[in-house]
Structure 1
Amino acid sequence: MTYLFLPVEVKVRELDAKMLLAYYAAQEGFRVVIGEQTAVERAALELPQGIFFAKGYPDRYRSRVVKKMKAKGHRLIELDEEGLIMSDRNHYLEDRMNKSSTKQFDQIYCWGTDQKELIESHIPNQELILTGNPRFDLLKEKFRPLYKQRVKSIQTSYGSFILLNTRFSIYNPKKKNNQNEHEQYDYMKQLFQHFIKLTEAIAREIPYQTIIIRPHPSENLHTYQKRFESYDNIVIAPFGNVIDWILASQVIIHNGCTTGLEAFLLNKPSITYMPIEDDRYDVFLPNQFSEKATTIDSVLDAIQNIETIHPTRKQHNILDHYVASWSAGQAYEKIINALKQLNVQPKQSSSSNTLQIKKSKKAKYRFSRLSEEDLKQFFKKINQIEKKSSSFQIKPLGQDVYEITLR
């Protein structure tokens, strides 16, 4: 059996997709190690040679990972979680596709044609495979049953609500780090203040409607909690998978957030609030899949008329260019087919029975606990969808990291 190492950095964003890939990879005979990013990296240095599935990193961190995994003898592949939406394409290439580290990868998987062509222009001879991302497999009708129970629970708890997603970590970071020196700081400060005023206006003008705010994982929650503590109809909810929240909502509001595209793929109406615009910092892709509003009044009007928001042919054409495997096939299938081409011949190493891997303490806010039961329940639901009765051996290797094989 070939080891496949699947690190997860941001649990609420990446875990379900990695569990989906783990399910089907185990079906194909892979021995999958999945869990918190640093814990999986540590496990990969203790276990036999296999395939390390990098999730994309800034260059300094990426270079360290590449060096360690290459020294261990692993084959290296990557599907960059940040490869779909890039606010600065030149910076993306310099920081996340640095030539020296990129050339160490055996394969790089691409979200869509746009990312593939961009990387090709930067590194012409790199092996790039158009796969799409399993995160978007999960948005298809086939996998909606995965979310049914959780969506119902959210709707029972909060009733009808507007979902407001933010991305202001440059201005409102979890940890202060001289962020005011960032080139986007003033832009994000203005946008943040506009969103605060918008939220308060919706709360006043539509008092019967609950507003759920989901801050970016890197943002400071207390900023929102303190600002809106006097509003009974505003809730800060940083927990749970965003797909659950989108499906449970009436409409979502964002600016340049991936959830705008995810809502489109889930057939949920969305509004992109753009009270200020700057070509240097506006995020093109997700804004193309939402109703554009530039004033508070236009947002309120769009909320009252969400039934008139419908997909256009232009949006579908853009989708085909940026997102592979949406119209045909599944990303996880294309990835597993590519993995098989690597033909890894593992050497013997220490037994996984003796491992007691620990994750980094710094990972706490990005990755809460992962239990064996979480994995079992997810696989059980996929079995129901696939009408199978597959049984998996799930072996803990330490804190929040597990080895999965098909029985």
Structure 2
Amino acid sequence: MDKYLYFPIEVGTRELLSRFLTACIAAEQGFKVLIGYQYTLLEHAPILPIGIYFSKGTNAVSLKNLEMVKAQGHAVVVCEEENFFRGLRDNPIVITHDNIFDVCDLYLAVSPDEKNYLISRFGASIPVVCCGNARSDILRPDFRAIFDQEVKNIRSLFGNHILINTNFGILNNGMPNNSPQKIFETWLKIGVFASQLSLDQKTQVFKDYMRFEKSNMDFITQLLVRLAAEDCSVLIRPHPVEEASTWESQVRSLNKENISVVSDGNHIPAILASKLIVHTACTTGVEALLLGAPTLCLGTLQNSPAESYHMARQFNDVAYSVDEAERLILEHLAGGQSLVKNRNHYISRLPNSLSSWEPEPLAAEMISKQFFKLHESYNFVDTASQPAARKLQIIQESEAYKAESYMQKKFGLEKDFFTNHLQHFQTALKRFETTNVSQISDSVFMISNYEK
């Protein structure tokens, strides 16, 4: 029996490269791994060969989809990408659905903190193991050469610049007709609020997040005015979910050539190319720490519950005023060490929040071992009315993917992405010489080993 894994992708720039690394390692263990746009893989679950479906989400929408996947005979493994360096204890945004373990055969936790949180919530008998997240693998020194050319290109365009990463998915959402009210309704629908909260309490939590975003947007706006007057280059990189034109308009209003907006490409080379990373409690602050990049977190609402749930500020120096931020930035650009001297202290805090940082094995390695172990022990039962009809075939692309340019931008990949990065993996790890990439549809690719 061939062994199949299915890796649905939501945000290409966030999880695609780490999933590809995991797929390459799983292919060494004999798996055929289909990696692609989440709804294209989901729609074909009833006809694809039974295997292990790896979900990046655990909310109500994910639960409903996984119930269908499970009913088609597939095993289900989950992780929660949104829990990557997010405070979980006493957080009113829980994301993981109360019934996720009704369909989940294995939960891959990013850290001891996440595992302990899940056990405290669901009980000690749940199938959960700590594997880390392969997103952190890509940040290790061995892999940084992957981004050398992109880093060189960015530096040639912007010189020694400051990178400001924004993350305002509520107030500056780039999805068509996605107002804050619609986002709140979506949050209610997918069940991200703690179930014991009343509607009024959920409303207040959401309003707190809006206040948090508004204060941070104002902070960055004021900081940009200050930096526009300085002799430094500033690059603004909006989150993939944001509307980039908002920031482009703001930059035009400043009428200063030293400030630019770039919304395309992977965030890792953008971090590596910069002189300093500035952010508002974004996960990129932790990724910058792991990449060895100097980082400054902007903090505005010190008493805001929303700010306390973002763990990035526990791993970065924080400026709580525009004056302080401007001073720290200019001191750093002048050669000051205040934003780098605490790096070892922050790194020492990692073990409870991330299971797979150096010198531990790659998270992708540990995750692949769990897939192999589950496949060996799982009792697959093909529930299809015609099991013989299940076979790997050319997949018809999801209508949602074909119709939405926004979705294509979020996902955004071509076969060249895989072939180029496979070469980088081969160089970095001295393995994967027999790994093959084949295209199944516009958004779905298969990773396997050549037949011997």
Relative distance call for 1:359 and 1:158 in structure 2 (3 A) is farther
Give the direction of change, closer, same or farther, for the CA distance of 1:235–1:93 in structure 2 (3 Å limit).
closer
1:153 shift after superposition: 1.4
Change (3 A) 1:176 1:389: closer
Q: Does 1:405 align with 2:440?
A: no
- Determine the structure 2 residue equivalent to 1:99: 98
Equivalent position to 1:252, from 277, 284, 288: 277
> Residue in 2 aligned with 1:339?
371
Q: 1:317 aligns with which of 336, 342, 348?
A: 348
Structure 1 counterpart of 2:398 = 358
CA distance in 1, matches of 2:146, 2:11: 19
Partners of 1:107 and 1:92 lie apart in 2 by 24
Tell me the SS of whatever aligns to 1:147: helix
Q: What is the CA distance between 1:57 and its match in structure 2?
A: 4.2
Match of residue 15 from structure 2: 14
Q: Which secondary structure state, in structure 2, belongs to the residue aligned with residue 52 of structure 1?
A: strand
Query: What is the CA–CA distance in structure 1 between the aligned matches of 2:47 and 2:289, rounded to whole Å?
Result: 42
Equivalent pair of 2:107/2:127 in contact (CA under 8 Å): yes
Provide the rounded CA distance (Å) in 2 between the counterparts of 1:100 and 1:222.
39
Q: For residue 45 of structure 2, give the secondary structure of its aligned residue in structure 1.
A: helix
- Residue type of the partner of 1:222? S
- Note the C-alpha offset of 1:365: 5.3
CA apart distance, 1:364: 1.9
Question: What residue in structure 2 maps to residue 176 of structure 1?
Answer: 179
User: In structure 2, how many angstroms separate the alpha carbons of the residues matched to 1:366 and 1:99?
Assistant: 32
Match of 1:329 in 2: 361
| Compared CA separation, residues 313 and 226, structure 1 to 2 (3 A) | closer
Q: CA offset at residue 275 of structure 1?
A: 3.1
Gaps of 5+ in 1: none
Pick closer, same or farther for the CA change 1:392–1:304 going to 2, 3 Å.
same
Deviates more, 1:103-112 or 1:274-283: 274-283
Question: Residues 316, 389 of structure 1: CA spacing in aligned structure 2 closer, same or farther, 3 A cutoff?
Answer: closer
| Equivalent residues of 2:9, 2:411 under 8 A apart | no
| 316 and 351 in structure 1: CA distance in 2 versus 1, 3 angstrom threshold | same
| TM-superposed deviation, 1:112 | 0.6
3-state DSSP class of the match of 2:53? strand
SS at match of 2:135: helix
Query: Which amino acid letter does the alignment assign opposite residue 33 of structure 1?
Result: L
1:41 CA drift (Å): 1.8
CA shift for structure 1 position 64: 1.6
AA of the residue aligned to 2:393: N
Q: What is the CA-CA distance between 1:89 and the residue it aligns to?
A: 4.5
Distance, in Å, in 1 between the alignment partners of 2:49 and 2:155 is 46
Change (3 A) 1:310 1:110: same
Are 2:299 and 1:274 aligned? yes
Q: Give 2:234's aligned residue.
A: 211
Measured against aligned partners, the alpha-carbon deviations of 1:266-310 in whole angstroms (never above 9, x if no partner) come to 111101111332241114421122221122222122123334122
Cα distance between partner residues in 1 of 2:52 and 2:221 = 45
Could you tell which deviates more after superposition, 340-349 or 315-324? 340-349
Q: C-alpha deviations, 1:14-56, integer Å up to 9, x for none?
A: 1111111111111111100001111222233321110000001
Q: Equivalents in 1 of 2:23, 2:320: separation in Å?
A: 42
Q: Does 1:36 align with 2:37?
A: yes
**TM-score, with normalisation over the residues of structure 1?**
0.92
Match of 1:305 in 2: 331
Q: Name the amino acid aligned to 1:171.
A: L
Q: Which moved more, 1:149-158 or 1:246-255?
A: 149-158
In the alignment, structure 2 segments of 5+ residues that lack a partner are: 185-202, 383-387
Q: Deviations over 1:201-223 (max 9, x none)?
A: 1121x2x3221111122222221
> SS of the counterpart of 1:170?
coil
Q: Normalising by structure 2, report the TM-score.
A: 0.84
Letter in 2 for 1:167: N
What is the alpha-carbon distance in structure 2 between the residues aligned to residue 195 and residue 221 of structure 1?
15
Q: Return 193-202 or 336-345, whichever deviates more.
A: 336-345
Secondary structure of residue in 2 paired with 1:118: helix
Secondary structure of 1:353 counterpart = coil
Q: Is 1:374 the counterpart of 2:417 in the alignment?
A: yes
Name the CA distance, whole Å, in 2 between partners of 1:123 and 1:236: 44
The yes-or-no answer on 1:188 pairing with 2:213 is yes
Letter in 1 for 2:98: K
Q: Distance in 2 between matches of 1:352 and 1:2?
A: 12
- Provide the C-alpha distance between the structure 2 equivalents of 1:25 and 1:357, rounded to a whole number of angstroms: 25
